[in-house]
């Protein structure tokens, strides 16, 4: 029997990159996957790919996680479709990088709403069923930027650092109900988001990484799979940095 057999996982931002890798890894461990993305085409593409590998393993949902009411409706639909929710991975996130002196209030709000409020919205959609079941895994994807700060990312760093505080507080609220809440903080990972970096920026980033390379989406997916599984039942309120040693 696979570790996540008969469990249902929601993965936000699952239409590409790290989120897609997480969805694939959880499906390989036996979970049914609710694939969430703002883009219907991206979520449908990933769900189709999963279903081609493992029949009936995924359904696609298009939603903006920053929209509270829309997320609640999607949460209700997922529970209606699958009958339960065991795992929530809050991976959806955006960047609007700029120096603070040039950053617009709109770009500040966009990033905080997607990255931090989005996690709140998604947790609100599933926390009551998890409490009722006295079981659940919530895994929030933060960033090395939330641990040490990166120039040009005050909005992103604030959202990702906020996610850590959010997770620690939530873990204390729900631990007695058998629900764990943990954080994975990736460093520089080879995704669409980092593919646009110039060679100069890439070299500068690698110079800060003791392992001297960017990570792969699968590095994050493997950690999330562990935290979602039975071997991590006594781990909660923790932050696991997967950054090649960058933040140590």
Q: What's the pLDDT score for residue 46?
A: 97
Q: What's the pLDDT score for residue 62?
A: 98
Q: Which 8-state DSSP code applies to residue 150?
A: -
Asked if residues 63 and 36 have their Cβ atoms less than 8 Å apart, the reply is yes
Q: What's the pLDDT score for residue 222?
A: 98
Domains of the chain: 8-189+218-233 (3.40.50.720)
* Interior angle at CA 83, CA 79 and CA 88, nearest 5: 55
Q: Which residue has the tokens 């993965």?
A: 11
Q: What's the pLDDT score for residue 200?
A: 87
* Catalytic (active-site) positions: 156
Q: What's the pLDDT score for residue 35?
A: 98
Q: Which of 79, 57, 61, 65 is nearest to 127 (CA)?
A: 79
Query: pLDDT tens across 42-94, in order?
Result: 999 999 999 999 998 999 999 999 999 999 999 999 999 999 999 999 999 99
Q: What's the pLDDT score for residue 193?
A: 74
Q: What's the pLDDT score for residue 192?
A: 78
pTM above 0.85, yes or no: yes
Q: What's the pLDDT score for residue 9?
A: 98
CA 177 and chain centroid, separation: 22
Residues of the chain with pLDDT under 70: none
Q: Which of 180, 95, 85, 167 is nearest to 133 (CA)?
A: 85
Asked if residues 194 and 135 have their Cβ atoms less than 8 Å apart, the reply is no
């Amino acid at each position: 029997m696979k570790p996540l057999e008969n469990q249902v996982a929601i993965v936000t931002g699952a239409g590409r990159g790290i989120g897609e890798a997480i969805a694939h890894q959880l499906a390989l461990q036996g979970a049914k996957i609710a694939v969430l993305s703002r883009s219907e085409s991206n979520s449908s593409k990933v769900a189709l790919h999963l279903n081609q590998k493992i029949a009936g393993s995924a359904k696609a949902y298009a939603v903006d996680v920053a929209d509270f009411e829309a997320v609640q409706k999607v949460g209700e639909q997922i529970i209606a479709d699958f009958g339960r929710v065991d795992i929530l991975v809050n991976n959806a996130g955006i960047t609007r990088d700029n120096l603070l002196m040039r950053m617009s209030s709109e770009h500040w709000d966009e990033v905080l709403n997607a990255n931090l409020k989005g996690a709140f919205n998604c947790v609100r959609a599933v926390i009551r069923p998890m409490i009722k079941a006295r079981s659940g895994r919530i895994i929030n994807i933060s960033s090395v930027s939330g641990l040490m700060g990166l120039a040009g990312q005050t909005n992103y760093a604030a959202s990702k650092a906020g996610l850590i505080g959010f997770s620690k507080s939530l873990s204390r609220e729900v631990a007695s109900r058998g629900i764990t809440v943990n954080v994975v903080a990736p460093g520089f990972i080879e995704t669409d988001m980092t593919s646009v970096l110039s060679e100069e920026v890439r070299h500068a980033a690698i110079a800060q990484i003791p392992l001297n390379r960017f990570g792969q989406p699968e590095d994050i997916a493997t950690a999330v799979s562990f935290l979602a599984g039975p071997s991590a039942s006594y781990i909660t309120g923790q932050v696991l940095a997967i950054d090649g040693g960058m933040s140590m």
